[in-house]
């Protein structure tokens, strides 16, 4: 039951001037694709947004050729200082068009406007500002003097943070002097296409960034293209494996940012109010469509009941619904396919004997929705404790000693992130040191900063994005 009633506070769509159809962005212009066009829909009500071109292998070839020409003739010849000016310009245009981008992202992806407005889009601008600053300082990146760009970067990104993942890929690549062919996910191409308009506004030389929409086959064509020098991928571990195989034995450099099953460890001395908020933010932010989500709560046995009761109270106050409503906390699940996957894994959780609790919210009639859900009595062997659900579903496990917490946290094929909640700084440092995860948050969760490297251990992938480390993936050093 909700104690506070909220009147709807919808953000207006009027700021968006969408085209009915979008082409491929190649060599500085939009052009039709030769594959079968597809529709992108709003997952909140299944309404049609726009028709999107699909890039065939031949279109990908055209895009790679444009990127190669731009690399040879303009981008790799330009001074770092001048490349930086373009990146600063892009960052400022993202800020200028922030509201429009946030609305587009929320409509196409289903995420709440307060997240696209306050998290995704500001971070996109921050990423471009940050790497703009590096463009003329590559000699000081710790990669030897005068490091060189690799050439054409082929990049494939997922649907959970469409524009932010684009920024993570494009900003370091361009700062380092590479050119780009990038494919957004099939269900969320819209913000990338508005970003293409921003590149035109910024007068970025044609061919430096090419945006090719399409399905998995388009991604595969980029990855396999012979004239691509570097592949950067974010998405599922299954597709990441295929890409690693396709690239093996070639000269291509590869970075992979894959799935996760992060442990969020709460000790009995943790500040409980903050921990509850952190657990909620850790798994229910972005409907749990987050590779570094804190999907396994490891709570010390002595405070288990208190934490679970308080979590249920807190989840009962979350508002699920229209992504464009400024009051919404939980938006729509990105696709029917993803909803089916979440439902299936939750069903298996119950079947294996875990206890399911879902917040009692009103589910809209159309669109794809899943109420925030907690599983208790979860065993480490359960599928819901091992598989990435990629939805608003939290599995709660317990521990008694710090040693047991560490062992359980590391008992996963993944290793992208983790969280530790404790009042004791020495305990946080000691535990963090033994967690096999690329990022460890202490008394917070899901914080991102362009200066901070991000990436996985084990099946969560390899290579780092962000910070000085993120440049290494796009430069040939002379170490």
Q: Does 108 bind Mg ion (CB under 5 A)?
A: yes
C-alpha torsion 425→426→432→434, nearest 10 = -170
Q: Does 463 bind ligand NAP (CB under 6 A)?
A: no
Tokens of 222: 């980029």
Catalytic residue among 11, 100, 257, 459: 257
Residues 275-314 that bind ligand NAP (CB under 6 A): 291
Least separation, in Å, of the C-beta of 1 and Mg ion?
Answer: 33
Q: How many residues form the binding site for Mg ion (CB under 5 A)? A: 3
Q: Which residue is nearest to ligand NAP (CB)?
A: 219
Buried b (16+ CB within 10 A) or exposed e, 446-458: bebebeebbbbbb
Closest CA to 456 of 469, 471, 474: 469
Indicate the DSSP class of residue 187. T
Q: Does 169 bind ligand NAP (CB under 6 A)?
A: no
Q: Does 388 bind Mg ion (CB under 5 A)?
A: no
Residues 357-416 that bind ligand NAP (CB under 6 A): 388, 390
Phi, psi of 299 (to 5 degrees): -115, 140
Q: How far is C-alpha 269 from the geometric centre of its chain's CA atoms?
A: 32
* Cβ atoms of residues 182 and 24 within 8 Å: no
| Contact window for Mg ion (CB under 5 A) among 106-114, 121-129, 142-150, 203-211 | 106-114
Least separation, in Å, of the C-beta of 108 and Mg ion?
Answer: 4
| Choice between 147 and 466, CB closer to ligand NAP | 466
- Give me the DSSP letters along 128-172: HHHHHHHTT-GGGSSS-SS-EE-SEEEEE--SSSHHHHHHHHHHH
Q: Does 124 bind ligand NAP (CB under 6 A)?
A: no
Q: Does 465 bind Mg ion (CB under 5 A)?
A: no
Burial category of 145 from C-beta neighbours within 10 Å (exposed 0-12, middle 13-18, buried 19 and up): exposed
Q: Does 187 bind Mg ion (CB under 5 A)?
A: yes
Has 292 been annotated as catalytic?
Answer: no
Least separation, in Å, of the C-beta of 109 and Mg ion?
Answer: 6
Provide the 3-class DSSP secondary structure of residue 279: helix
* Cβ atoms of residues 97 and 122 within 8 Å: no
Q: Does 57 bind ligand NAP (CB under 6 A)?
A: no
* Cβ atoms of residues 461 and 255 within 8 Å: yes
| Contact window for ligand NAP (CB under 6 A) among 172-180, 181-189, 362-370, 439-447 | 181-189
Closest CA to 183 of 147, 230, 217: 217
Q: Which residues have a Cβ under 8 Å from the Cβ of 225 and sit 6 or more positions away?
A: 60, 61, 64, 154, 181
By rule CB under 5 A, what string of x and - marks binding of each residue 7-46 to Mg ion?
A: ---------------------------------x------
| Contact window for ligand NAP (CB under 6 A) among 47-55, 215-223, 369-377, 399-407 | 215-223
Task: Give the whole-angstrom CA distance, residue 197 versus residue 203.
Answer: 10
Has 291 been annotated as catalytic?
Answer: yes
Q: Does 183 bind ligand NAP (CB under 6 A)?
A: yes
Least separation, in Å, of the C-beta of 449 and ligand NAP?
Answer: 17
Please select the residue that binds ligand NAP; options are 63, 167, 223, 265, rule is CB under 6 A. 223
Active site residues: 257, 291
Contact positions vs ligand NAP (CB under 6 A):
156-160, 183, 185-186, 215-216, 219-220, 223, 234-236, 239, 242-243, 257-259, 291, 341, 388, 390
Sites of contact with Mg ion (CB under 5 A): 40, 108, 187
């Amino acid at each position: 039951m909700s104690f506070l009633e909220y009147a709807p506070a919808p953000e207006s769509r009027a700021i968006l001037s969408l085209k009915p159809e979008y082409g491929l962005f190649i060599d500085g212009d939009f052009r039709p694709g030769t594959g079968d066009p597809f529709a992108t829909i709003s997952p909140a009500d299944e309404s049609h947004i726009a028709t999107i071109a699909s890039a065939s292998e031949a279109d990908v070839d055209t895009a790679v050729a444009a990127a190669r020409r731009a690399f040879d003739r303009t981008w790799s010849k330009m001074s770092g200082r001048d490349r930086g000016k373009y990146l600063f310009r892009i960052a400022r245009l993202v800020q200028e068009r922030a509201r429009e981008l946030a609305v587009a992202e929320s409509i196409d992806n289903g995420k709440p406007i307060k997240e696209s407005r306050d998290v995704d889009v500001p971070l996109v601008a921050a990423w471009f500002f940050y790497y703009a600053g590096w463009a003329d300082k590559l000699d000081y990146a710790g990669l030897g003097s005068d490091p060189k760009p690799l050439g054409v970067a082929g990049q494939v990104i997922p649907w959970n943070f469409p524009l932010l993942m684009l920024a993570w890929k494009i900003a370091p690549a361009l700062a380092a002097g590479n050119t780009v062919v990038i494919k957004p996910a099939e269900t969320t191409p819209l913000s990338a296409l508005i970003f293409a308009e921003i590149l035109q506004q910024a007068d970025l030389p044609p061919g430096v960034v090419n945006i090719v929409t399409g399905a998995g086959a388009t991604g595969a064509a980029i990855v396999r293209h012979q004239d691509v020098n570097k592949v950067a991928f974010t998405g599922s571990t299954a597709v990441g494996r295929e890409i690693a195989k396709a690239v093996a034995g070639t000269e291509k450099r590869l970075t992979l940012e894959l799935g996760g099953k992060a442990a969020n460890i709460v000790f009995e001395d943790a500040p409980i109010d903050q921990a509850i908020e952190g657990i909620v933010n850790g798994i229910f932010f972005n409907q749990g469509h987050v590779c570094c989500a804190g999907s396994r709560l490891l709570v010390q046995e002595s405070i288990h009941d208190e934490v679970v009761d308080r979590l249920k109270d807190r989840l009962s106050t979350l508002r699920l619904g229209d992504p464009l409503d400024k009051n919404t906390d939980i938006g729509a699940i990105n696709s029917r396919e993803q909803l089916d996957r979440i439902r299936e894994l939750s069903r298996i959780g119950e079947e294996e004997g875990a206890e399911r609790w879902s917040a009692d919210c009103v589910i809209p009639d159309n669109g794809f929705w899943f109420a925030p859900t907690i599983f208790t009595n979860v065993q480490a062997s359960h599928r819901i404790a091992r598989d990435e659900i990629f939805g608003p579903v939290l599995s709660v496990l317990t521990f008694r000693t710090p040693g047991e917490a560490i062992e359980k946290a590391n008992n996963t094929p993944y290793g992208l992130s983790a969280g530790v909640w404790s009042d004791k700084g020495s305990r946080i440092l000691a535990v963090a040191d033994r967690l096999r995860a690329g990022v460890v948050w202490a008394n917070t969760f899901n914080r991102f900063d362009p200066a901070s490297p991000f990436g996985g251990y084990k099946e969560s992938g390899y290579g780092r994005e962000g910070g000085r480390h993120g440049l290494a993936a796009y430069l040939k050093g002379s170490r």
